[in-house]
Amino acid sequence: MRFTDLFIRRPLLAWVLNALILLFGLVAFSSLGLRPYPDVQPASIHVDTAYPGAPADVVQGFVTGPLQRAIIGAEGIDYYISSSSDGLSSITIYNTTDYDLDKVVTDVIGKVASVRGELPTNALEPVITKSWGSSPPLWIRLQDTQMTPEQLTEFFYRVLRPGILTREGVAGLVILGERPFAMRLWIDPVRMAAMDVTAAELQAAVRNNNFTSEAGKCAIASWYNPYARTPTSAPLTHSPASSYGKATVPWCAFATWRPSNWRRHPSARAAS
């Protein structure tokens, strides 16, 4: 007895099975999720490391090389492209389509951190970012006729950038043409040689004196000169200290100038 003999003797059963197969096919076709042109966004990870003052060959040997050897061991990497220029090392990593991008980023961060001690001391911290697509979807041009490029850059970082990053769907910003405030020093090598000063010492002196401090709190207090013959109330000026008996001055002015023989008046009270 063959398998087809059952359907020959019972044709109604064959019609029912064919109808069920056709029904299941229609249901499966209606819920089919495949598309002929799927929307696949190419994702990439960027590792940028700045090494100020170093030529391209030094950046390649001491920055890009160690980072490449560490990053190649991360999982989910399809291929990467690296470039070294004067003062900058750039590595672009592309992951495989069947691997989660966030896992690749986490693994790359760990690999970069493992070789951070091998990088030069003057090299800045590597910056790791991820992006989708080949170019940003939106470009914004910022221009003002009354602001200098430095003021415009400061306005962007303080006002516009926080507002843009808090918008829904914004993943990051790519800033081109920024002009931050900077101090440039032109040194005289002849005078440096005469004073036995090196460029490293000048750089260290500038860094040691580059700090930010609070202005403090201004208050009113009375001070008097015990050596004055006639105590009088007078504003603080650049006259000799012996001509004052008692003066009311702001506390914040004491950091600029105060006579060494002045003392706090016993009856003085500060008012903030």
d(CA 125, CA 233): 57
pLDDT, position 136: 63
Say if residue 105's pLDDT is above 80: yes
The DSSP bridge pattern shows strands 246-250 and 220-224 to be: antiparallel
What's the average model confidence in pLDDT over 191-215? 82
Ordered structural domains, the chain, with CATH: 43-132 (3.30.70.1430), 142-212 (no CATH), 220-264 (no CATH)
Name the one residue in this structure whose structure tokens are 């029904």.
23
- Whether the model clears a pTM of 0.75, i.e. scores above it, the answer is no
pLDDT value at 189 more than 80:
yes
Q: What is the pLDDT of residues 112-161, one digit of tens each?
A: 999 988 898 888 999 888 877 656 677 888 888 888 888 888 888 888 88
* Of residues 57, 49, 105, the one with CA closest to residue 77: 105
**Residue 263: what pLDDT?**
47
Residue type, 101: L
Measure CA of the first residue to CA of the last residue in the chain; give whole Å.
Answer: 109
Residue 195 confidence (pLDDT) above 50: yes
DSSP output for the chain:
--HHHHHHH-HHHHHHHHHHHHHHHHHHHHT----SS-----EEEEEEEE-TT--HHHHIIIIIHHHHHHHTTSTTEEEEEEEEETTEEEEEEEE-TTS-HHHHHHHHHHHHHHTGGGS-TTSPPPEEEEEESSS-S-------SSS-HHHHHHHIIIIIHHHHHTSTT-------S-----------HHHHHHTT--HHHHHHHHHHT----------EEEEE-TT-SS--B----SS-GGG-SEEEEEGGGTTT---TT-EE-TT---B-
Report the pLDDT value the prediction gives residue 122, as an integer from 0 to 100.
86
pLDDT at 268 over 60: no
Least confident of 44-58, 201-215, 232-246: 232-246
Evaluated on CA atoms 11, 15, 20, 25, the torsion sign reads positive
Percentage of the chain modeled with pLDDT above 70: 71
For residue 220, pLDDT beyond 60: no
The alpha carbons of the chain give a radius of gyration, in whole angstroms, of 36
Give residue-wise pLDDT tens across range 45-102.
Answer: 889 999 988 888 999 999 999 999 998 888 888 888 999 988 899 999 988 877 888 8
Question: With contact defined as beta carbons under 8 Å apart, do 42 and 134 qualify?
Answer: yes
**pLDDT greater than 80 at residue 236:** no
- Bridge partners, 81 (sequence order): 92
Mean pLDDT across the stretch 203-219? 73
Nearest of 39, 38, 60 to residue 51 by alpha carbon: 60
User: 47 and 105 in contact (C-beta within 8 Å)?
Assistant: no
pLDDT of residue 91: 92
- At 36, is the pLDDT very low, low, confident or very high (cuts 50, 70, 90)? low
Q: Which residue has the higher pLDDT, 13 or 132?
A: 13
pLDDT above 70 (res 215): no
Q: Give mean pLDDT, residues 7-24.
A: 86
Contact between 94 and 69 (Cβ < 8 Å): no
pLDDT higher than 80, residue 17: yes
**CB-hemisphere CA count at 13 Å for 142?**
19
Upper half-sphere CA count for residue 5 (Cβ side, 13 Å): 2
Per-residue pLDDT for 223 more than 60? no
Give the residues across from 85 on adjacent strands.
88
